[in-house]
Amino acid sequence: MKQMFILLLMATACTARAQYSADENFPGRVRAGVGYVHDFPGLNGIGAYAEYSFPLNEWIQGGVGVRRVETAGYPRTQTVREYTKATALDFNLLFVPYHTENAAFRIGTGYSFSFYNIRRSYPVYTAHTDQTPGTDVTYPQTDAKGRARGLSVSAEYEYNINSNFSAGAKISVSKAYGSVIMGGPFVAIKL
């Protein structure tokens, strides 16, 4: 909670804009996108997100968003289908090293709060006694729910189609249950 209070205080100080006002070139935008998600080898899926981004000054943007990730697969054994279903609340701070009237490139970091539901299957080895040599391996399934939080890193390119609409691509590494990689296209609408 202390971290959130400090982040909110910093965002308020940055958005006060005593000598900077957002003009047509730096409007707030609502973005929505979908993309491919890679959790770990064998566990892949799709994700969707919606985000509101706003200029803090000419070179820095803030953003608040919601992300849904669903991955599934058979990474350890063919008998148990493992999955990750997570909904995350993201807070981002993006540096804009390149921007023109037609395009912008952003890189940045943020913090994610994730609420997840997972199924995993870890190997259990059972060693036999001296009378029956060998080892048996079983894969019991384990279901869990919980929360995770952590740092996220993202990069995006946005092209302005006209003054109100834009499209682009985004790739990010963020928290779901563990760290996931998500990449795909998005569309944005100027507010």
The domain spanning residue 67 has which CATH number? Answer: 2.40.160.20
134 is a domain residue: no
96 is a domain residue: yes
183 is a domain residue: yes
Return d(Cα 75, Cα 180) in angstroms, integer: 15
51 is a domain residue: yes
pLDDT of residue 21: 54
pLDDT of residue 42: 83
Is residue 48 within 8 A of residue 68, CB to CB? The reply is yes
pLDDT of residue 121: 92
Domain count, the chain: 1
pLDDT of residue 126: 85
128 is a domain residue: no
89 is a domain residue: yes
Q: What pTM was estimated for this model as a whole?
A: 0.79
Task: List, in sequence order, the alpha helices (H) in the chain.
Answer: 2-15
pLDDT of residue 27: 66
pLDDT along the chain (191 residues), means of 10: 62 55 65 94 93 90 95 92 95 93 94 94 82 79 94 95 93 89 94 81
Return d(Cα 123, Cα 43) in angstroms, integer: 17
Residue 71 belongs to domain spanning: 26-115+144-190
61 is a domain residue: yes
14 is a domain residue: no
